[in-house]
Amino acid sequence: MSNVPLTIEADDQNEVAVLIDGDRFKFWDSASIKLSMESLTQFTLAGLFESDNAIFRNAFRPATYKDITLYVGGELVKQCTMVQPNPTLGPENNSVSVNAYGKAGIINDCNKNITQYPLEFYNRNIQQLATIITGGFDLEPPVFTVDPGAVFDSVSLGVSDNPLKWLSKLAQQRGILISDDTEGRLLFQVANEGSPIAALNQGVPPMFTGTANYSGQELFSSVSGQAPTFVGLDAEQVTREVDFVGAERPYVFKMEDSAGADLQGAVLAKTGLMLGKAISWGITLQGWRDPNGDIWKPNQIIKMTAPGLMVYNASELLIKDVVLTRTPTKDTTVMKLVLPGAYSGKIPEVLPWED
C-alpha cells in the first residue's frame, strides 16, 4: 500500500495541488482533470515556472517520470506519473504545463519486455491475466471489486499488442470495466446500480447546459454472439433483442478468445457497450462539487429531467466521465452521461425520450 498522505493542507476547498518529491505545488492558473469509469485518469495543469529555483528544476525535469500526487481541496484524488513537463518562455514570466496519467498508464504506452514472450495463457481468468501483465512494470497488483468471472481457455498477448487494450477487450467480454483507483492501481469494476446522488432539472438550480447524442448508426435491434466452432459440433448462439430500436438492424459477433466463454454474459456486455456508445449526454455545470460536497466522480447515478435534450421524464443516468476544468475566471464540470444499462445490457423500462 502507498504511504502518500490522504489529506494535505489547502487554502480553499477547490485548491488544486500536487506533491512531487514531497514538495507541494499549488500555483496552477488552469487545470483539466479527467476521471473516468472506463479509462485511466489524466490531468493537465499550467502555472508559473520558477526556472532559477532548484526545487522547480528538479521537480519538472523532463524524462524523469516522477510520481505526482493530485489533491483537490487537500483531499487525495489520484496517484499519477508525470509524463510531460512542457515549459513556455514568455515576455515577462515562464510557465510550465504538466501532463500526467494514472500510474498504470505505462501499460497503455509500452509493451512487455521482449524477453518475456511468448505470452500464451490457458485457463486463466481476467484477474490472473491482469496480475501477470502488470508484473514487471513496477505496479501494484490490480484491484477487483467484482468477481473476475469465467476463465479464458486460451489467449495470447502478441509482441506488438497494447497490454491495456488487450486486457480491456477481455474484460469487456466479462462485463467488467477498467479504470484506476486513488493509488493508481488498475481497478476492475462494474457499473454502479445504486441510488441517485443528485437531481438535475432543466431551469432549476444548479443550472446546466448540455448536448445529446442519439446515434442511430450505432444502435442495433438485436445483438447475437456465436461461440467458437469445433468439428462435428454446432456452435452455441445467444441473442439479445433490443425492442425499442424501430428497424431491423441485427449485429452478430463471434467469440474467438475462449472456447469456454460466458457467451450469455458476453452478449449482454456487448449490448451494454452498444448502448453506451450510441446514446449519451454531455452536461456542463458550474463548480466542481456535488450536493454532498464531494467533487463530481464517475460511476455514480444522477436523476435528470431536460426536455431540451429530449429527456422528457425524470431519468436515472450513469456518470461515465467527469472533466473538472479551471480557467483564471471559473471552475466547471463536464459530465458524460449514459443509460444505466450501459455496460450491463439492462434496458430501462421507460426510456428518457418517452413521454
User: Final residue of a domain: which of 103, 123, 138?
Assistant: 103
Unique residue bearing C-alpha cell 528538479: 58
Q: Are residues 73 and 116 in the same domain?
A: no
Q: Cis before residue 148, ω within 30 degrees of 0?
A: no
Note whether residue 6 is domain-resident: no
**C-alpha of 210 from chain center:** 20
Q: Are residues 205 and 324 in the same domain?
A: yes
pLDDT of res. 257 = 61
pLDDT in tens, 294-345: 999 999 999 999 999 999 999 999 999 999 999 999 999 999 999 998 888 8
Note whether residue 343 is domain-resident: no
Query: What does 251-268 look like in DSSP terms, one character per residue?
Result: EEEE--S-TT--HHHHHH
Domain that holds residue 38: 16-103
277/219 Cα distance (integer angstroms): 9
Q: Are residues 97 and 137 in the same domain?
A: no
Phi (first) and psi of residue 129, to 5 degrees: -65, -45
What's at 23, amino acid-wise? D
Q: Are residues 223 and 333 in the same domain?
A: yes
Q: Are residues 178 and 210 in the same domain?
A: no
pTM: 0.93
Note whether residue 168 is domain-resident: yes
Note whether residue 9 is domain-resident: no
Intervals of the chain under pLDDT 70: 1-2, 229-234, 256-261
Q: Are residues 114 and 97 in the same domain?
A: no
User: Final residue of a domain: which of 189, 220, 249?
Assistant: 189
pLDDT of res. 288 = 97
pLDDT in tens, 77-94: 999 999 999 999 999 899
Contact between 257 and 227 (Cβ < 8 Å): no
Looking at residue 91, what DSSP letter applies?
Answer: S
The domain that holds 95 is classified in CATH as 2.30.300.10
175/180 Cα distance (integer angstroms): 17
What's at 124, amino acid-wise? R
- Nearest CA to 314 among 276, 348, 275, 277? 348
Q: Is the dihedral of CA 123, 126, 129, 131 positive or negative?
A: negative
Count the domains in the chain: 3
Q: Are residues 49 and 138 in the same domain?
A: no
Q: Are residues 117 and 229 in the same domain?
A: no
340/355 Cα distance (integer angstroms): 19
Note whether residue 21 is domain-resident: yes
Q: Are residues 241 and 327 in the same domain?
A: yes
Q: Are residues 152 and 76 in the same domain?
A: no
Q: Are residues 267 and 329 in the same domain?
A: yes
Note whether residue 7 is domain-resident: no
The domain that holds 147 is classified in CATH as 3.55.50.10
Note whether residue 347 is domain-resident: no
Note whether residue 349 is domain-resident: no
Contact between 288 and 296 (Cβ < 8 Å): yes
Q: Are residues 93 and 117 in the same domain?
A: no
pLDDT in tens, 103-137: 999 999 999 999 999 999 999 999 999 999 999 89
Residues in Cβ contact with 66 at an 8 Å cutoff, skipping those fewer than 6 apart? 20, 21, 59, 81, 82
